[in-house]
């Protein structure tokens, strides 16, 4: 559980930094149409990353970790596409709205990957070398 606590602390630092950036971008006229979707996507990806990080941190051996990691990666990607399509259909059909969503997605995915790779280094192998 200490690994998950460290994961959450690092994730909260990233979220705070992203919130500061979004707050600062809110003062620019070109970003005002995208501020609402940016805050929603920040909350959405924070929830998804916490969910996947929790299940990834519970892994006991590397093969299980890799299966869970790639499984949660696929689920997050599909849910992200669903989020984008839902926003397009319900609110704003402009193509530029995808930029803040993808920026937040890649920021969370890259930091999650870095943290979980460090976590995976400490996991024991399955003992089947060959």
- What is the reported pLDDT for 7? 83
- What is the reported pLDDT for 16? 95
pTM equals 0.79
- Each residue of 83-111: b (16+ CB within 10 Å) or e? bbeebeeeeeeeeebeebbeebbebbbeb
pLDDT in tens, 33-61: 888 888 989 999 999 888 888 877 776 66
């Amino acid at each position: 559980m200490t690994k998950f606590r460290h994961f959450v602390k690092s994730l909260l630092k990233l979220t705070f930094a992203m919130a500061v950036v979004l707050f600062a971008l809110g003062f620019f006229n070109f970003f005002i149409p995208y501020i609402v979707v940016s805050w929603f996507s920040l909350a959405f990806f924070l929830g998804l990353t916490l969910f996947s990080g929790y299940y990834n941190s519970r892994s006991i051996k590397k093969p299980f970790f890799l299966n869970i990691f790639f499984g949660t990666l696929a689920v997050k990607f599909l849910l992200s596409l669903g989020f984008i399509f839902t926003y397009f259909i319900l609110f704003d059909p402009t193509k530029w709205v995808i930029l803040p969503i993808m920026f937040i997605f890649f920021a969370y995915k890259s930091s999650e990957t870095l943290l979980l790779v460090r976590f995976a280094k400490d996991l024991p192998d399955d003992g089947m070398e060959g």
